[in-house]
């Protein structure tokens, strides 16, 4: 994997910010887009633009083909059994909201229970509060230890006859922890409980095979894996998706409509009301092809080397607290400069052309766990280099000097 060659695929990376070469380390928030993805979007609008599914004319058929081929690409990428299991959404958040709404409507009764981990992104907490808790369900929390590892031996004691679903992230966007999803799924299935895996931070780093994992639902966002914003996936086992009611009503998701009664379209369209982001779907196809050409294993290996290098270098500075010490981690490095506010550190790094994220990263319960207002988060992608890590480290040293002396 020749990083300097790969970087040329990403035009945004070659710009200067405040006179410095951009160092983009905010990849857990969103990834940059390779030229092939940008080209695919441009080509769609200049050559194929037309609404999908409802047209008999050439362009509409072409657009439908692009959209449905993207679905097949996703199916193969995560090794789903059938295209019916792949629902396009606008991202992980909408995927989880879709499931939380439909699942709660169908299966949740007052007094039922859900298990959610302490390290979830808000988008895997709030939808369950909106739909399940509001139907009278109780949310139980699977905690993590100070290394940022889930206390899996506590899972059994949280499960009861009333547990209806377990919702857990594959990878923590704040701590970088790769959770032992397989173990959780196995335990859940011993009790016939389905599991939702939030793969928003996993899809770009790890090989995901939904059949091997045997997860029941999985959510992901295209923009985290080099595709456009506004496209994502809800994967669900067909047996559940068949039973679940639709989330939204509108065009495309129906078979017949009358004022007395409406029947719904077959899967997956039952869950795709209205005009979908078909351009985004095409961009996701292109992005997944791009990742396949490089090889997800090569990407994770490179990112792991960056993470190890960065962790050592940042530790060497001294006076830095790192959050997330799990044995199995992806390329997310959360830290604070002792005695300085994360926001001030982020601002100084920004002035040096280094883009990191600061704050709670939509994981307030993690901040509560550590009793901190937030962290500085550097997150690495396939195009980051060791020189960029060096720039980060120099930046942190400078910020430390300015803020704590």
Binding site for ligand PLP (CB under 6 A): 91-93, 121, 123-124, 169, 173, 198, 200-201, 221
The H or E element that residue 221 is part of is strand 217-221
Number of C-beta neighbours around residue 75 at 10 A = 19
Task: Name the one residue in this structure whose structure tokens are 């961009």.
Answer: 283
Q: Catalytic site residues?
A: 362
Give the closest residue to 305 by CA, choosing from 389, 226, 225, 377: 389
Q: Are 273 and 361 in contact (CB under 8 A)?
A: no
Smallest separation, CB 173 to ligand PLP (Å): 3
* CA–CA gap between residue 272 and residue 45 (Å, rounded): 22
* CA–CA gap between residue 217 and residue 213 (Å, rounded): 11
Q: Which is nearer to ligand PLP, 31 or 221 (CB)?
A: 221
* CA–CA gap between residue 89 and residue 174 (Å, rounded): 24
Q: Would you state the structure tokens that stand for residue 147, as one six-digit string?
A: 């290394």
Task: Name the one residue in this structure whose structure tokens are 């949310």.
Answer: 139
The rounded Cα 262 to chain-centroid distance in angstroms is 34
Q: Which is nearer to ligand PLP, 91 or 194 (CB)?
A: 91
Q: Which is nearer to ligand PLP, 96 or 132 (CB)?
A: 96
Q: Which is nearer to ligand PLP, 254 or 362 (CB)?
A: 362
Smallest separation, CB 26 to ligand PLP (Å): 11
Q: What DSSP state is assigned to residue 69?
A: H
Smallest separation, CB 365 to ligand PLP (Å): 13
Smallest separation, CB 93 to ligand PLP (Å): 3
Smallest separation, CB 21 to ligand PLP (Å): 26
Q: Which is nearer to ligand PLP, 199 or 399 (CB)?
A: 199
């Amino acid at each position: 994997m020749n990083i300097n060659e790969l970087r040329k695929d990403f035009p945004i990376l070659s710009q200067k910010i405040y006179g410095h070469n951009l160092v983009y380390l905010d990849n857990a928030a969103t990834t940059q887009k390779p030229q092939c993805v940008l080209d695919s979007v441009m080509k769609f609008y200049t050559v194929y633009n037309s609404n999908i599914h409802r047209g008999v004319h050439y362009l509409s058929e072409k657009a439908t083909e692009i959209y449905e081929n993207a679905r097949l690409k996703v199916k193969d990428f995560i090794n789903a059994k059938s295209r019916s299991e792949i629902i396009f959404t606008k991202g992980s958040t909408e995927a989880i909201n879709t499931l939380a709404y439909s699942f709660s409507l169908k299966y949740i009764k007052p007094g039922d229970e859900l298990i959610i981990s302490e390290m979830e992104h808000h988008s895997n907490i709030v939808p369950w509060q909106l739909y399940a808790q509001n139907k009278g369900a109780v949310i139980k929390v699977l905690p993590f230890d100070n290394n940022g590892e889930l206390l899996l031996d506590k899972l059994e004691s949280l499960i009861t006859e009333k547990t209806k679903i377990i919702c857990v992230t594959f990878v923590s966007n704040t701590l970088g922890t790769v959770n032992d999803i397989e173990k959780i799924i196995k335990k859940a299935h011993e009790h016939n409980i389905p599991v939702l895996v939030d793969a928003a931070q996993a899809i770009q780093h790890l090989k995901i095979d939904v059949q091997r994992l045997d997860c029941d639902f999985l959510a992901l966002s295209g923009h985290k894996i080099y595709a456009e914003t506004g496209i994502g996936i809800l994967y669900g086992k067909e047996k559940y998706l068949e039973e679940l009611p639709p989330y939204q009503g509108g065009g495309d998701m129906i078979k017949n409509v009358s004022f007395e009664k409406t029947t719904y379209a077959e899967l997956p369209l039952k869950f795709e009301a209205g005009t979908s982001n078909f351009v985004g779907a095409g961009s996701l196809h292109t992005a997944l092809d791009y990742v396949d050409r490089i090889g997800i294993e090569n990407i994770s290996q490179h990112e792991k080397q960056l993470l190890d290098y960065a962790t050592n270098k940042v530790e060497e500075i001294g006076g830095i607290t790192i959050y997330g010490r799990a044995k199995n981690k992806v390329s997310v490095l959360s830290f604070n400069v002792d005695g300085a506010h994360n926001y001030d550190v982020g601002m100084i790094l920004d002035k040096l052309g280094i883009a990191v994220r600061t704050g709670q990263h939509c994981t307030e319960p993690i901040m509560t766990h550590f009793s901190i207002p937030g962290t500085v988060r550097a997150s690495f992608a396939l195009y980051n280099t060791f020189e960029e890590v060096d720039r980060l480290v120099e930046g942190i040293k400078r910020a430390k000097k300015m803020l704590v002396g």
